[in-house]
Amino acid sequence: MPRAAASSDRRQTFFSRLLEEHARVFFFSLGKLWQNPAGTLLTALVIGITLALPAGLHALINNVDKLSYSWEGAAQSSLFLKDSVSAERGKDLARELNARPGVARTTYISRDQALAEFRKLSGFGEALDILDNNPLPAVITVTPMHKQSRDEINALVTDLSNLPEVDMAKLDQKWLERLYGIIDLLQRGVMVIAVLLSLAVIVTVANTIRLDIQARREEIIVMKLIGAPNSFIRRPFLYTGLWYGFTGSVVALIFVGVGMAALTGPVQNLAGLYESNFSLSGLSFFAVLQVFGAGIVLGWLGAFLTVSRHLSKIEPH
């Protein structure tokens, strides 16, 4: 007589029953948190602040990075042509180089143009009149494409300097390299901070869940008495951890959003003073997903670690 009722159940596949059970716990654990809004909000706030720090720093560094790209034009290389190269050949060469992979743009500056420019900018125009002929070489400025490594750009410049028409190639990007170096360092720093704060999120969730387990000790014992396996008892706690991570992520994104909004005005003001149209950009869609992903995974992990440790210690006796 005991198993007759189970027959209608068997028609349902194992998978759909599992899905139903997970959906039930998904909403059940959310309901539990809803019943204790103050505690939930507090935990979410702590996780939110913890996640907001690396997310915010990440966004700021991305902006500095973006800013440095807009200065990329300055990383151009100047090819000084030999005097024997004619103006026609120089223009042709500029066109040829333009077609090379890794080259974004080339400009040919004839000796006369160079002289005119020098005259205009240097203030030594009169001094030049003393000279019989124009001492300045023709120049092709080459702008490497974005997103190339320093090694690639260096290799390109070396290649160009070996061309028969070229007397000398000069790459002026020391300061940009330094900037990249600083950005790299900051990015690494943010990563270290992110790892440390991830641990903090895990510990926060683990501790909250530990208290939750202690508060529901009697309930766990009753569950075990009526035959609930550990996986069944564990599940709501894991979803609770997941919800903590999720709500923490929402809080973190709100913090980052508010922080960005607060900086937008002053940044635009400053950019205006530098005659730049630079504006702060917020977190990308991918970064937002990352914040949610990190929150959910860390929350789940924190819950999993505690529940696994504490559940087996609670046995009816």
Which bin fits 132, alpha (ψ -120 to 50), beta or left (φ > 0)?
alpha
| Span 1-30, contacts to another protein by CB under 8 A | 1-6, 8-9, 12, 17-18, 20-21, 24
b/e map of 299-314 (b: 16 or more CB within 10 Å)? bbbbbbbbbeebbeeb
- Between residues 17 and 188, which has the closer beta carbon with respect to another protein? 17
Phi then psi for residue 6, to 5 deg, are -75, -15
The nearer residue to another protein, 218 or 275, going by C-beta atoms, is: 218
Q: Select 17 or 178, whichever has its Cβ closest to another protein.
A: 17
In the list 83, 107, 232, 281, the residue contacting another protein (rule: CB under 8 A) is 232
Closest separation between CB of residue 6 and another protein, Å? 8
Near another protein by CB under 8 A: residue from 67, 186, 224, 311: 224
* One of 127, 191, 211, 222 touching another protein (CB under 8 A): 222
Strands of the sheet with 139-144, listed across from one edge: 103-109, 139-144, 77-81, 166-171
Tell the smallest beta-carbon distance from residue 46 to another protein (Å): 25
Part of the chain binding another protein (CB under 8 A), chosen from 88-96, 129-137, 198-206, 226-234:
226-234
For another protein, how many residues bind (rule: CB under 8 A)?
Answer: 29
Q: How far apart are the first and last CA of the chain?
A: 30
Question: Smallest distance, Å, CB 229 to another protein?
Answer: 4
Q: Closer CB to another protein, residue 164 or residue 316?
A: 316
Among 223, 271, 287, 297, binds another protein (CB under 8 A): 223
Candidates 130, 132, 227, 273: give the one binding another protein (CB under 8 A): 227
Indicate the residue among 4 and 121 with the shorter CB distance to another protein: 4
| CA–CA distance, 32 with 40 (Å, rounded to integer) | 10
- CB of 15 or CB of 274, closer to another protein: 15
Q: Which residues fall within 8 angstroms of residue 63, CB to CB, at 6 or more apart?
A: 280, 281
Which CB, 160 or 314, lies closer to another protein?
314
- From the list 228, 263, 288, 297, which residue makes contact with another protein (rule: CB under 8 A)? 228
Helical segments of the chain, H only: 6-11, 14-35, 37-70, 87-98, 111-122, 125-130, 150-161, 174-215, 217-225, 230-273, 285-311
CB–CB of 304/241 below 8 Å?
yes
The minimum distance between CB 181 and another protein, in angstroms, equals 55
To another protein, the closest distance from the beta carbon of 19 in angstroms equals 11
Q: Which is nearer to another protein, 108 or 243 (CB)?
A: 243
Helix pair angle (14-35, 37-70), 10° resolution: 100
Q: What gap in Å lies between CA 232 and CA 291, rounded to an integer?
A: 29
Q: Does 226 bind another protein (CB under 8 A)?
A: yes
Q: Give dist(CA 295, CA 300) in Å, integer.
A: 8
CB of 283 to another protein, least distance (A): 39
Q: What is the DSSP string of 33-92?
A: HHHSHHHHHHHHHHHHHHHHHHHHHHHHHHHHHHHHHHTGGGG-EEEEEPTTS-HHHHHH
Q: Which residues of 86-107 are buried (b: 16+ CB within 10 A; e: fewer)?
A: eeeebeebbeebbeeeebeebe
| Single residue of 112, 117, 184, 219 touching another protein by CB under 8 A | 219
Footprint of another protein (CB under 8 A):
1-6, 8-9, 12, 17-18, 20-21, 24, 219, 221-230, 232, 315-317
